[in-house]
Copies of this chain bind each other. A is one copy, B any other.
Amino acid sequence: MVGQQFVRLLQDHPWFKPSWLAASERSEGRLYQEATSWRLSGAMPPHSAGQRLEPCTPGRGPQLMFSALDAAAADTLEPAFAAAGHVVVSNARTMRMADDVPLLVPEINPEHLALIELQRRSRNWTGAIVTNPNCAVVVLAMALAPLRHFGIKSVIATTLQAVSGAGYPGVPSFDILGNVIPGIGGGEEEKIESEGNKILGSFLDGRIVPHQMVVSAHTTRVPVVDGHTLTASVAFDRIVDPGEVRQALGEWRGRPQELGLPSAPKHPVAVWDEGFRPQPRLDADCGGGMTVSVGRIRRCPVLGTKFVALGHNTVRGAAGAAILNAELMLAEGLL
């Protein structure tokens, strides 16, 4: 899923070319079109279709590497590539919470890139690893970041996650047709309860000071193809009016918008005033899949504020996030 999104999103990218594709031993040496069953809408990008798959050998290939490796493979391969001088822009969870690795969302925490210097020094790497968040976390983090100045104390979120978030083959259709699965394996709730604190954290004295908020996550899987929806109730330090929340979200811009990065959406967050939006089938593609949608902003009688948020889990939640990370690094002179 994520690998194919990389290929799709990079096919006409103004800055990056997918010049080198690597795969596991089982596939190396074959053409991409032979090794891959293309599952996205539209035809396989012709340039990549005819490329031959290289072995995953550190030191070979270009400086910038996008990694859609699963956690097990990423565990050893990504550090090996970084040690060999590659800049690995990774979607794997392995290194996300490491103290010296940026868990980057360019609109939220571009200053976390400063960790790279620490990373190189402490690990004696010439390359680097930069990560993007879990696909559900990024939706929540993008909806919370513009509200940081209200003082976020606690959050209770329930996710309704799309099947593409489980990769391929992922969720068996017998389990999910006409059904809801209450819970997502692989520590999903723990990630949602911890990654956001690092993402919203401050870079102080050479390290990340996590944001002090408590997050509680309920996860569910629903029969939706693309787009993670979540409901959130939020407590702030002070009473905040829904109108203030609406305004903060709608006006929010970040460094990617400032720099005009190619994958940056005009609006990182879109606010919906219609009563029954956002909806994943209609709105996940908003901003080319890079905009997070927020709607139904209203008072929560328990925590103060509540809303619904939605984002494209394999674009803003994976491949698109990584590409935006790389764009920021190039713009900031780190590539």
A156 to B170, CA, bound (A): 30
Binds B, one of A99-107, A124-132, A176-184, A316-324: A176-184
Which of chain B's residues has its CB closest to A229's CB?
B180
A225 with B174: CB separation less than 8 A: yes
A173 within 8 A of B: yes
The answer to whether A179 and B216 touch across the interface, beta carbons within 8 angstroms, is no
Structural contact, A193 and B301, CB atoms closer than 8 A: yes
**A198–B296 CA distance with the chains assembled, in angstroms:** 27
Q: How many of these chains are in the complex?
A: 4
A163→B177 CA distance, assembly (Å): 9
Q: Are B172 and A277 in contact (CB under 8 A)?
A: no
Candidates B41, B182, B301; contact of A231 at CB < 8 Å: B182
B-contact 0/1 string along A150-184, CB 8 Å cutoff: 00001110101001100011111111111111110
B168 contacts A174, CB within 8 Å? yes
A263 within 8 A of B: no
* B residues near A172, Cβ cutoff 8 Å: 168-173
Scan A262-303; emit 1 where CB is below 8 A from any B CB, else 0: 000000000000011111111101100000000110001111
User: What is the CA–CA distance of A46 and B295 in the complex, to the nearest angstrom?
Assistant: 20
Show the binding face of A for B, using Cβ within 8 Å.
1, 39-42, 154-156, 158, 160, 163-164, 168-183, 185, 193, 214-216, 218, 220, 222-225, 229, 231, 233, 275-283, 285-286, 295-296, 300-303, 306, 308, 310
